[in-house]
Amino acid sequence: MSKAFTREPDAGDDDEEAGALPALPAGLRNYMTPAGHRALRAELMNLLDVERPRVVEVVSWAAKNGDRSENGDYLYGKKRLREIDRRIRFLTRRLDIAEVADPSSHHGSDQVFFGATVTYLNRHGEERTITIKGIDEADALQGEVSWVSPIARALLKSREGDEVQLMTPGGLEHLEVLEVRYPTPDGGVPLRT
């Protein structure tokens, strides 16, 4: 059979990349901070304006070199183009349904809403601080959690001094909300008082 009629296997043709951001739960809004929206938009523009044209140029050059079945530049380039196109579709869909919520509008409030930086005390007496962000922008290594995560859902709408309950694999845990902060309208985060 001719190679023209065979299809290369594509792991992940469903537009969700392996190791990509989590799927948005059905029926929920895709909240994100203005900074998160700008970052995703910048990534999309970079893929469209810089990276994709550069890879297309390499693939075009490699295709002119003859036998494509053993041409590493061509094969890698085509694979990379599929990855870029998949990411472009993903980002476009996520940005289309995004609702940008500015957490600085709650500056000075002691109630937990989207975008809050919350310091709480767990049952072991350990203080933890997290920032509630959008599902596409949360980075656990930076102390950021998605607003749909169990910890964020437990904390949302609570106030400083409140005790909330969080169901964990180890059982029910009681958390005490110590402090709630929001970025200032000028974009900074106030220092702890």
Is residue 139 located within the same domain as residue 153? yes
Q: Would you place residue 157 in the very low, low, confident or very high pLDDT band (cuts 50, 70, 90)?
A: very high
Nearest-CA neighbor of 93 among 173, 6, 15, 193? Answer: 15
Instruction: Kindly state the DSSP code that residue 126 receives in the 8-state scheme.
Output: -
Is residue 128 located within the same domain as residue 172? yes
Amino acid identity of residue 102, one-letter, is D
Q: What is the pLDDT of residue 11?
A: 45
Identify whether 161 is part of a domain: yes
Identify whether 45 is part of a domain: yes
Stated pTM of the model = 0.76
3-state SS record for 3-50: HHHCCCCCCCCCCCCCCCCCCCCCCCCEEECHHHHHHHHHHHHHHHHH
In terms of C-beta density within 10 A (0-12 exposed, 13-18 middle, 19 or more buried), how is residue 135 classed? buried
- What CATH number is attached to the domain comprising 156? 3.10.50.30
Is residue 64 located within the same domain as residue 91? yes
Amino acid identity of residue 118, one-letter, is V
pLDDT of residue 25 exceeding 80, the answer is: no
pLDDT of residue 57 exceeding 70, the answer is: yes
Q: Which pair of tokens denotes residue 111?
A: 């109630």
Is residue 109 located within the same domain as residue 137? yes
- Please give the tally of structural domains in the chain: 2
**Strand pairing category for 98-100 and 163-168:** unpaired
Identify whether 77 is part of a domain: yes
pLDDT of residue 4 exceeding 80, the answer is: no
In terms of C-beta density within 10 A (0-12 exposed, 13-18 middle, 19 or more buried), how is residue 9 classed? exposed
Asked if residues 78 and 132 have their Cβ atoms less than 8 Å apart, the reply is no
What's the whole-number mean pLDDT along residues 98-117? 92
Q: Would you place residue 36 in the very low, low, confident or very high pLDDT band (cuts 50, 70, 90)?
A: very high
Identify whether 48 is part of a domain: yes
Is residue 46 located within the same domain as residue 64? yes
Q: Which of 100, 127, 155 is the last residue of a domain?
A: 100
Identify whether 7 is part of a domain: no
Identify whether 113 is part of a domain: yes
Enclosing domain of residue 81: 29-100
